[in-house]
Amino acid sequence: MASRRTIVFENKPVITGSYSIVGPKEGKGNFASYFDYIMNDDSFGEKTYEKAEKKMLEHAINGAVADAKIQPEEVSLLLSGDLLNQIISSSYAARNFDVGFLGLFGACSTMAEGLAIGSAMVDSGYFDHVVCATGSHFSTAERQFRFPLELGNQRPPTSQWTVTGAGACVLSKQGSGPRVAMATFGKVIDYAVVDVNDMGAAMAPAAMDTMLTHFRETNSSPDDYDLIVTGDLGKLGSEILIDLMEMSGIKLGLNYNDCGQMYFTRNQNTLSGGSGCGCSATVLNSYIISKLRKGELQRVLFMPTGALMSTTASQQGETIPGVCHAIVLESDVKPKGGGVQSQDIKKTTSASKGGSKIQKRKGG
Amino acid sequence: MASRRTIVFENKPVITGSYSIVGPKEGKGNFASYFDYIMNDDSFGEKTYEKAEKKMLEHAINGAVADAKIQPEEVSLLLSGDLLNQIISSSYAARNFDVGFLGLFGACSTMAEGLAIGSAMVDSGYFDHVVCATGSHFSTAERQFRFPLELGNQRPPTSQWTVTGAGACVLSKQGSGPRVAMATFGKVIDYAVVDVNDMGAAMAPAAMDTMLTHFRETNSSPDDYDLIVTGDLGKLGSEILIDLMEMSGIKLGLNYNDCGQMYFTRNQNTLSGGSGCGCSATVLNSYIISKLRKGELQRVLFMPTGALMSTTASQQGETIPGVCHAIVLESDVKPKGGGVQSQDIKKTTSASKGGSKIQKRKGG
């Protein structure tokens, strides 16, 4: 029997600020009305997509700090990572902030890794405010992990679309906003998937392991959550997770969904759905936090998933392991006439399809 | 005035186990007699150097857990990172351990980043045992960051030699051994160095910033430490640091040294000295911990430094930022007739040059 991997935060750090920025395609997806900023152009005025990715991250960090209504000098730490080699978006963005920098690499699970470590730093009383951030860019990810876009490769049905976007939030010791109640650190799990165009299948076993561990260690079940949301398993991966969980004796119901699956509309041609660090990060820092702030979601199990793939490892015949960390988020606002099911997102936002920033998400 | 970046650990987590493994060249260097394991061959029986790097890391993790005299199941978390794209050595090594995985990227500062976060996890009472590990390999680093070894490029005098080696330690809530007393998280600092063969110059400003921050926030001075040791500034970088500190009004004396500068003997042709995550990690987990265990060092300021370089960023005209985290280590054994200066290392170990594992370092 392995040791516990769950932290129960006694002081429940508060998410006092959050911000999301996305590319134009993402801005036409299902969460369009929730994002803080939709770029007109995915180069964001920069000469390279890598520089654009870094700029998005800086923008999101500044946005979250402003949303928290604190001064940048009040922040002690920035916890950030991304998909690029040597997490350059994060480390280069960090140059512009006068804070301690904790570089993370958890692939697309980074938002949760940052939230877990950041919450620990705040919960234990070490720091008053920390910022957690991550992002990704379709064009930087494609050229680093797969093929140059110029090749015009066909995409198989299992492939996912790396979200161009960045999300950031401020975790504070005090204040009002959703609370981080628990975190379960995930193990690295490898089911020997080798296809770089089938990330959902590579990550689903890690999601299952973390979910089972979380339920066991916290003596909870799916019924304890309004929304259980994985990061970017996509359509295929989330079906695999549902099957794996059922084989383990736990039936995931209508309160389960996946950010990658929900992200784009059917006609956006993203095949199995969204992916990338920016996928779960922008959903968290727009839709999920907005719903928690309004009390429309009371208790969320947020589970970003990461495929620890690398071209070097793949070229040496290695398989693709996955990792998934789980974060329990609680609303600080009482529910207004019952909870909301995650499936509502499809109805809620389809009307705003194609609109850009048509609805300010911030509550009072 | 920026926010505090230092944690003072109330419960001072204990380093209950440690382990170091190095390549044959490192095994002929100044720390030869302190390492736990010296490989005969830097491929470690594997087909690629990347696989060898991963295997070293696994070996070090297992060694540290055995040294702590605990069962692997008692460990809750593994905190690890390395220099390779997507930290593949760490994430692939993590597959073999039944623990939560926190992937880190702090380049060569990773040992300190892991110790700081790991100590926070133990100090706050969340977990009983965590493992911090990192490593590097000369041949994987050269081919990823510089040129294929087969090219036989000349090395400029400022260049450093990436250490082939891995180090790991177990941090525990209780037990006997050196204590982690404080941690200061470093900022990302960029003095616009662009030469990938001059890492010391790129990292020295970050070391200065962290050192000044540490002394200011903890109201301490160089005199409070037997040994202040940076990670891998090398000969040139550590001279730059001494100058930068002097310009800031603080004179570093004989109790200051640098792992990279101390690592190899003069005739080993490593130019400015050792570098890589494995440099400070193997010095910590052999020489430093051994001296702390015996009480020959009482109080150490351990400051691994990282150059956040990336070929992608360099190709896009970016400069190389650095980062440095500081860890305060304290002995739990009373001194025997006065402290030891770091300069002793040169005398102490030169006799054992060329020997392999000739002196078991573990105390009683």
Axis crossing angle, helix A110-123 with helix B110-123, rounded to the nearest 10: 50
Supply the pLDDT for residue B2: 77
Supply the pLDDT for residue A336: 67
Q: Which residues of B touch A190 (CB under 8 A)?
A: 95
**Cα–Cα distance, B228 to B256 (Å, whole number):** 5
Say whether residue A103 is in contact with chain B using an 8 A CB cutoff: yes
Region B116-137: what's the mean pLDDT? 98
Inter-chain contact A86–B308, Cβ cutoff 8 Å?
yes
User: Is 90 exceeded by the pLDDT of residue B262?
Assistant: yes
| pLDDT digit string, tens, across residues A154-166 | 888 899 999 999 9
Region A165-181: what's the mean pLDDT? 98
Percent of the residues in chain A that have a pLDDT greater than 70, as a whole number: 92
Task: Number of A to B CB contacts under 8 A, please give it.
Answer: 200
Q: Which of B81, B100, B323 sits opposite A101 (nearest CB)?
A: B323
Q: Which residues of B touch A3 (CB under 8 A)?
A: 73-76, 99, 127-129
Supply the pLDDT for residue B228: 98
Say whether residue B129 is in contact with chain A using an 8 A CB cutoff: yes
Highest-confidence segment of A351-360, B40-49, B142-151: B40-49
Inter-chain contact A86–B309, Cβ cutoff 8 Å?
yes
| pLDDT digit string, tens, across residues A268-299 | 999 999 999 999 999 999 999 999 999 999 99
Mutate to test the interface with B, among A58, A105, A111, A170 (most CBs of B within 10 A): A105
Region A229-245: what's the mean pLDDT? 97
| pLDDT digit string, tens, across residues A291-349 | 999 999 999 999 999 999 899 998 999 999 999 999 999 999 988 655 444 444 443 33
Residues 42-71 of A with CB under 8 A from B: 47-48, 50-51
pLDDT confidence tier of residue A196, bands split at 50, 70 and 90: confident
DSSP label of B268: G
Supply the pLDDT for residue A330: 98
Q: Which own/partner pairs from A217-221 qualify as long-range (CB within 8 Å, at least 24 positions apart)?
A: A217/A4, A217/A5, A217/A6, A217/A184, A218/A6, A218/A8, A218/A182, A218/A184, A218/A328, A221/A250
Q: Which of A4, A113, A312 sits opposite B85 (nearest CB)?
A: A312
- Select from B281, B337, B350 the least CA-distant residue to B106: B281
**Cα–Cα distance, B218 to A114 (Å, whole number):** 26
B238 vs A334, more confident: B238
| pLDDT digit string, tens, across residues B289-308 | 999 999 999 999 999 999 99
DSSP label of B187: P
Number of other residues whose CB lies within 10 A of the CB of residue A314: 16
Inter-chain contact B4–A51, Cβ cutoff 8 Å?
no
- Tell me the Cα Rg of chain A: 18
CATH number given to B6-346: 3.40.47.40
User: Is 60 exceeded by the pLDDT of residue B339?
Assistant: no
CATH number given to A6-349: 3.40.47.40
Residues 220-259 of A with CB under 8 A from B: none
Supply the pLDDT for residue B147: 82
| pLDDT digit string, tens, across residues A248-261 | 999 999 999 999 99
Report the gap between the CA of B103 and the closest CA in chain A (Å).
Answer: 5
Region B125-132: what's the mean pLDDT? 98
Supply the pLDDT for residue A355: 37
Supply the pLDDT for residue A71: 97
Q: Which of A95, A186, A316 sits opposite B321 (nearest CB)?
A: A95
Inter-chain contact A50–B101, Cβ cutoff 8 Å?
no
Report the gap between the CA of B69 and the closest CA in chain A (Å).
Answer: 16
In angstroms, the Cα distances linking A269 to A25, A33, A158, A161, A265 are 11, 20, 12, 9, 8
